[in-house]
Amino acid sequence: EVSRDDPETAFCTLANREELNPEEDSIHHCLYQFTRNETLTETNKLLCDVCTQRHCGPKNNIKSEKKYVYTNAKKQMLVSLAPPVLTLHLKRFQHAGFNLQKVNRHIKFPEVIDLAPFCTAKCKNVAEGNTKVLYSLYGVVEHSGTMRSGHYTAYVKMRAMNNHLSDLVLRGQSQALETEPVKGQWFHISDTHVQPVSVSKVLSSQAYLLFYERLL
């Protein structure tokens, strides 16, 4: 779907992302980099249908003459629909010559995250005037080992049923006013072994997948 927004507001977000100043090796920094504004120039110029038609005339002449007009452009990936469940997948590998190498460093992630700085100002399921889109952590998948072998474990929070989450999934409605983490007990699960753990243990894990449920 192609939409033509006002250039002055097309790259606006629900909350000011420039005030973030995200810490290196944090999930905020990852999201900031993933949603940064990019300039497309030279070999990355954008094929512009409007410019092509203006320069070459009607569409039926374009293909035969193979005249296309490319123009400089800006590109930014933002969230246009805040999901009930936010799943973040960390890319934990990098190229080392002709091989792939696992990235083992710890990436900091919060118990409650605000997605507003990464959402378009016209985010479809956020009430008008809201400048926060909050999510509470409820699951983490961790991988130990190398690219060739390893073991997956999980951290899961046992908590009361979130009726608001059901409304979001079934009806797309957002009425929650909670801004604090969903209360509950964390457990570490490794194959058949399950044991309770503290939230500090969870937040110090080497996350591979993060699961958040929407609060606000």
The domain limits of the chain are: 78-212
Distance (Å, whole) CA 175 – CA 72: 41
State how far the alpha carbon of 121 is from the alpha carbons of 26, 159, 211, in Å: 24, 32, 24
pLDDT at 62: 47
Are 139 and 154 in contact, with CB atoms under 8 Å apart?
yes
- Per-residue model confidence as pLDDT tens for the chain (216 residues): 455 667 677 788 999 888 888 899 999 999 999 999 888 889 888 888 778 877 776 655 545 555 788 888 888 899 999 999 999 999 888 777 777 778 888 999 999 999 999 999 988 888 888 889 999 999 999 998 877 788 999 999 998 877 677 677 766 665 555 677 888 999 999 999 999 999 999 999 999 999 999 987
CA 137 to CA 85: how far, in whole Å?
10
CATH of 78-212 among 3.40.718.10, 3.40.50.800, 3.90.70.10, 3.40.50.620? 3.90.70.10
**Residue 44: φ, ψ to 5°:** -100, 10
pLDDT of residue 212: 96
pTM confidence score: 0.82
Please name the helix (run of DSSP H) or strand (run of DSSP E) that holds residue 34, with its range, or none.
Answer: helix 27-34
